[in-house]
Amino acid sequence: EPEVTQTPSHQVTQMGQEVILRCVPISNHLYFYWYRQILGQKVEFLVSFYNNEISEKSEIFDDQFSVERPDGSNFTLKIRSTKLEDSAMYFCASRYDTSSEQYFGPGTRLTVT
Amino acid sequence: KNEVEQSPQNLTAQEGEFITINCSYSVGISALHWLQQHPGGGIVSLFMLSSGKKKHGRLIATINIQEKHSSLHITASHPRDSAVYICAVRFYGGSQGNLIFGKGTKLSVKP
């Protein structure tokens, strides 16, 4: 069965460093999402991406964040200058269209020290 | 404000018990998802509903659109069902399918 994959599974970085989290959505899916979950809290929407552009973003997704689909298969989330409060699990998800199910990746645990 | 509330927050059951987890939401939705999050953190989609009822194995999900309420039932619960169960909704106007999540219900099934 097709699945969403994410790399790395765990990333440790120092405050102020840039990180790129990578996702490979399911190949025929058209809508892509990033969510995050701070430890012990609920999952929160960050950004949605369709047709090579951001379609919606939350107030969390400030200028420090960016997304890209560089090559038609990868979908990346970049955090330019990480803060301690960026420590969280980041989930990528994809779906074929807006009426179909979202499939989640296994997540990347980001630890900012 | 668009809210998703789940109850209970924590649930402990004995193996074999019938389990119900509830989800209510504040305004109209176009779809509701039930998700399962394992201790390692991964999220698995169990159901997507916009009306009625769906069944998969020992899991049943129902939704009442008028009452803005959904339930997830687990029949003949088993220790491997222990996980966090999350309700997430797509509100009308969330045209790109963005989900708003509840806080989750942590289920522990004892042998």
Contact B3, B29 (CB under 8 A): no
Q: How crowded is the C-beta side of B76, counted as CA atoms within 13 Å?
A: 2
Stronger pLDDT, B2 or A3, i.e. the higher one = A3
Q: DSSP 3-state assignment of B111?
A: coil
Each residue's pLDDT tens digit, B18-77? 999 999 998 888 899 999 998 888 899 999 999 999 999 999 999 999 999 999 999 999
Q: Are B97 and A31 in contact (CB under 8 A)?
A: yes
| A61 vs A77: CA distance, rounded Å | 10
Helix (H, G, I), strand (E, B) or coil at A84: helix
Amino acid A99: pLDDT: 80
pLDDT for residue A53 is more than 80: yes
Looking up tokens 């069902």 gives B81
Residue B13 has pLDDT above 80, yes or no: yes
DSSP, residue by residue, B18-47: -EEEEEEESS-EEEEEEEEE-TT--EEEEE
Give me the pLDDT at residue B93, please: 65
Interchain contact B98–A (C-beta under 8 A): yes
State how far residue B96 is from chain A, nearest Cα, in angstroms.
6
pLDDT digits (tens, 9 = 90+) for A11-30: 999 999 999 999 999 999 99
Pairing of strands B69-74, B52-56: unpaired
pLDDT of residue B96 exceeding 70, the answer is: no
Q: Closest Cα to residue B29, out of B64, B55, B53, B59?
A: B64
Please name the member of A48, A99, A100 whose beta carbon is closest to the beta carbon of B98: A48
